[in-house]
Copies of this chain bind each other. A is one copy, B any other.
């Protein structure tokens, strides 16, 4: 039960933008450097978040990434739903090869458990993750 690096970095990128909202747009390089992670990977994640309309990419001198929506309107469950691979088991995809699939109660129960996971995340917004923004900013400096 692990989340992908893609989702991990997407959440980190959003946290970074949320705590630097008052500042200039953030660059991919600056974010990657702050977290000590790959700029290439952050660039890919940024692309996904722009497509999903969580992030805007401003071009030109002084350009960079900013949040496309206010932090308190971004539900963490929604971000995870849109960035994560939610195929808990092989049978959650279209090509299940498990013979008991048509009558499997486990699959339904696992689906409900996944929904409980996402619902818990839906109780929190990006704004909730940065109420201690000053402290986070120091750790990222």
Residues of A participating in the B interface, judged by any CB pair closer than 8 Å? 1-4, 8, 11-12, 15, 34-36, 76, 80, 84-90, 97-100, 102-106, 109-110, 112-114, 116-121, 124, 128-132, 135-136, 139-140
Contact = CB atoms under 8 A, between A and B. Distances in A.
A8 B85 contact: no
B100 A15 contact: yes
B132 A121 contact: no
B100 A136 contact: yes
Contacts of A112: 120
A115 to B, nearest CB: 8
Nearest to A133: B103
A124 B140 CA distance: 43
A52 to B, nearest CB: 17
A85 B12 contact: no
A139 B34 contact: no
Contacts of A131: 105
B85 A2 contact: yes
Contacts of A124: 109
A12 B121 contact: no
A1 B121 contact: no
